[in-house]
Amino acid sequence: MNESASVIESFPCLLASDQSDGDMASVMGFSGFGKKARTFDLDAIFEQTRRTAIERSQQVSALALDPSGARLVTGGYDFDVRFWDFAGMDAALNSFRTIQPCECHQIRSLQYSITGDVILVVSGNAQAKVLDRDGFPVMECPKGDQYIVDMANTKGHTAMLNSGCWHPKIKDEFMTCSNDGTVRTWDLSSNKKHKMCFKPRSLQGKKVTPTCCTYSRDGKLVAAGCQDGTIQIWDRNLSVHTKFHCRQAHAPGTDTSCLTFSYDGTTLASRGGDDTLKTWDIRNFKKPLNVATGLSAFFSMTDCCFSPDDKLLVTGTSVKKDEGNGKLVFFDRASFQKVYEIDVTNAGVVRCLWHPKLNQIMVGTGNGLAKVYYDPVKSHRGAKLCVVKSKRKERQAETLTQDYIITPHALPMFREARQRSTKKQLEKDRLDPMKSHKPEPPVTGPGRGGRVAAHGGTLSSFIVKNIALDKTDDSNPRQAILRHAKEASENPYWVAPAYTKAMSHHEPEQLQCTLA
């Protein structure tokens, strides 16, 4: 059957003329009968599906820089986590390691701890992982019981994770949020159960899904942006009631993709799925300080971040395919005026990260690019270390012009000496007892010497063969019996010792009479 299939091909009776179709339709009482069915090009459909899958898998969905700025880690929808070392890279900008820590789950968030020795990996499954600097597993959070109603009574998340981050002061504590409606904190030294569990609630007291979470700069507050458009903030040590709560921060039903605190800790910035960027004063949390609109966001993890001097706020924008370029937009924190924008690429900007020590901006895009923006004067190290290096020349692989197969005994040290004369070989074989042994003649008769004739296939023949029974005895029968007399008299065994004396007087005569 052709790949371009048509429904009509299965029904030849429908291939009548328009006149007959009209007559049949009038008789049967319906119209439109006999119209040509839609045809589908399956090759084109498969090709479009394949391209769409490739485009989506190229998305850089996570970025992380260690505190010193020496290493960059990226994650994407292709399940890969790539490690980049600025000091070890040249102008080719190749990663030195690629792993898949969460198998076939998309990477949603990556972050180095404050000491830079471990990495938090948040993926599309329910269990966050912690890796060391080289990508080897350190810890995996347990999975909870999905059949328990109160999520605080189970030991871990039961649904897909959305975000996660490390505590800014305590090196062994991190936080995750999930579609199960909870925000949980964890201790790196204990992988049996979560440390604290926060449950966001709507105005009616119903469970809502947190889409992003973060700590305050001093680590005393826990903030979460939820799917109903609310932003809820708790005291880190009190998980029952919220300390600050904004009911209408963003449009309900949209994913708040990012929350971040300013370096002075007084301002909270939120990036909403309703194409807005807002700043808040947590001391007056009823209404936002500033609002920027028209910032399209098609991704559920679009970032925003403050500059190291706290004067600027940066976020990325998304675009549809072939409808422009994704941009990196800079706003003044005080006036919230757009001060600068950068055309990044012909795809949406998903992640942005402004490192305070390097003074460089890392950007992850929807078409699989990870870009670094730096200033030749104000930036330090980082990308400046590798862009000045020339590309390494590819080493020519050494190839053999001729393949050699060396067998174990082909070497001279293992090779046996070759005999030049057959006479010497025959003389040597004559001295070999195995080679010069005369073959046994075929057995005739009942068999002897442990050898059984061809007809001996019974159990008794097998026993006779194994015990090598020899029935031939050419000695004198009288002598054969008397040769055991001395041994029997010295070591009586079959006759009791009480009859030894009587037997010694009469045995020779009895034997002589009997044998005579």
The helix or strand, by DSSP H or E, that contains position 277, with its residue range, turns out to be strand 277-281
Q: In the Cβ-directed half-sphere of 273, how many Cα atoms lie within 13 Å? A: 19
Look up residue 184 and give its two tokens.
Answer: 């949980």
C-beta separation of 389 from 89 below 8 A: yes
Does pLDDT of 267 surpass 70? yes
Confidence (pLDDT) at 230? 93
Q: What is the pLDDT of residues 250-262, one digit of tens each?
A: 999 888 999 999 9
Mean pLDDT of 297-316: 92
What is residue 80's DSSP assignment?
-
Confidence (pLDDT) at 4? 39
Q: Exposed, middle or buried, 486 (CB in 10 Å: 0-12/13-18/19+)?
A: exposed
Range with the poorest average pLDDT among 52-61, 238-247, 394-403, 429-438: 394-403
DSSP reduced 3-state for 12: helix
Q: Exposed, middle or buried, 365 (CB in 10 Å: 0-12/13-18/19+)?
A: buried
Q: 224 forms bridges with which residues in the sheet?
A: 213, 232
Mean pLDDT of 304-320: 93
Taking Cα atoms as reference points, which of 56, 122, 112 lies closest to residue 84? 112
3-state helix, strand, coil in the chain (%, to 5): 15, 30, 55
Measured distance CA(214)–CA(318) in Å, rounded = 23
Give the mean pLDDT of the chain: 81
C-beta separation of 58 from 78 below 8 A: yes
In Å, how far are 255, 340, 397 from 291, measured between CA atoms? 17, 17, 59
Q: What is the pLDDT of residues 448-464, one digit of tens each?
A: 666 666 655 667 766 76
Confidence (pLDDT) at 186? 94
- End-to-end CA distance of the chain, in Å? 109
pLDDT bin (cut points 50, 70, 90) of residue 28 is very low
What distance lies between CA 334 and its chain's CA centroid? 45
What is residue 201's DSSP assignment?
B
What distance lies between CA 366 and its chain's CA centroid? 23
pLDDT bin (cut points 50, 70, 90) of residue 426 is confident
Measured distance CA(300)–CA(318) in Å, rounded = 11
Look up residue 40 and give its two tokens.
Answer: 């589908």
Beta strands 161-166 and 137-140: pairing type? unpaired
Phi/psi at 467 (5° precision): -90, 0
Q: What is the pLDDT of residues 468-499, one digit of tens each?
A: 555 556 567 788 788 878 887 777 776 666 56
Does pLDDT of 162 surpass 70? yes
What is residue 284's DSSP assignment?
B
Q: What is the pLDDT of residues 211-224, one digit of tens each?
A: 999 999 999 999 99
Count how many residues are written for the chain: 516
Q: Residue type at 498?
A: A
Confidence (pLDDT) at 55? 64
Mean pLDDT of 49-55: 69
The alpha-carbon radius of gyration of the chain (Å, integer) is 45
Q: Residue type at 446?
A: P
Q: 280 forms bridges with which residues in the sheet?
A: 268
Measured distance CA(333)–CA(338) in Å, rounded = 10
Measured distance CA(242)–CA(236) in Å, rounded = 10
Measured distance CA(313)–CA(366) in Å, rounded = 21
Look up residue 406 and give its two tokens.
Answer: 């060396």
C-beta separation of 45 from 36 below 8 A: no
pLDDT bin (cut points 50, 70, 90) of residue 435 is confident
User: Does the pTM of the predicted model rise above 0.75?
Assistant: no
Measured distance CA(357)–CA(420) in Å, rounded = 83
